[in-house]
Chains A and B, each alone.
Chain A
C-alpha cells in the first residue's frame, strides 16, 4: 500500500500565485523527499527534509515537516508556467533506504 497520500490531487493556479501541496504518511520516517515529474519524463529530486528538521528552503521552495501529525507540505512561491508538473512526496522509512511514493499532485500554472 502507498505510504504517502497527497492532497490535492490536482491544483490549478495563475502565474505569480503560491502553490501548496500536502503529503501525509503512515509510519516513522528517516526523511521525506519531494520530486517533480514533467509530462512524459522521469522524476527529478527537489528537496529533502530529515525527520529532525521542521522547515527547509531551496530557492522558491519551502518544505515543512510535522512528524507528530505525519504530514509535510511543499510551498512553491511566485509560481511560473514552467512549474507545471506532477509533484510527488516520497518517504524513507526507518528500516531501510527504500522510498515509498505518494500518488502525486498535478499542478497547472496558467500564464
Chain B
C-alpha cells in the first residue's frame, strides 16, 4: 500500500492564482483531513470529510474549498492564493472506529 499520497510536493504561486492540491489514500479509510502547518503553530485543521459525500469546516477554512471526489480522494482548492497561505499542507486519513491518523508527505506551497 502507498498509504496517503499528495501531489504536488512543491508549488510556487503568484498572488491571485488558483490551484488544487490532490490527496489520495489506498487504505479504504472513511475520514480524510486537510491541515496546514506554519512555523511555531503546530497543525491547524482546514477541512475534513467524515465520509464520502460529506465535508465540514475546521479551524481555518477561509480561502479554501474542498471536494471529496470519492472514498479515496480528497482535494483542497485555493481559488485566489494569498501570501498568508504560504505553508506546508498535509492530508491525513483514518479508518472508521479508530483514532490514529495517517499522514501524507506534505505539499510545500509558497505564494509570492
Is the CB–CB distance between B42 and A104 below 8 Å?
Answer: yes
Chain A interface size, under 10 / 10 to 19 / 20 to 34 / 35 or more: 20 to 34
Is there a chain B Cβ closer than 8 Å to A59's Cβ? Answer: no
Label chain B's interface by main secondary structure.
strand
In the complex, number of A-B residue pairs with CB atoms less than 8 Å apart: 55
Partner of B31, one of A41, A45, A97: A97
Is there a chain B Cβ closer than 8 Å to A43's Cβ? Answer: yes
Q: Please give the distance in Å from A10's CB to the nearest CB on chain B.
A: 11
Is there a chain A Cβ closer than 8 Å to B53's Cβ? Answer: no
- In the complex, which residue of chain B has the Cβ closest to the Cβ of A104? B42
Chain A interface residues toward B at CB < 8 A: 2, 4, 30-31, 33, 35, 40-45, 48, 88, 90, 92, 97-104
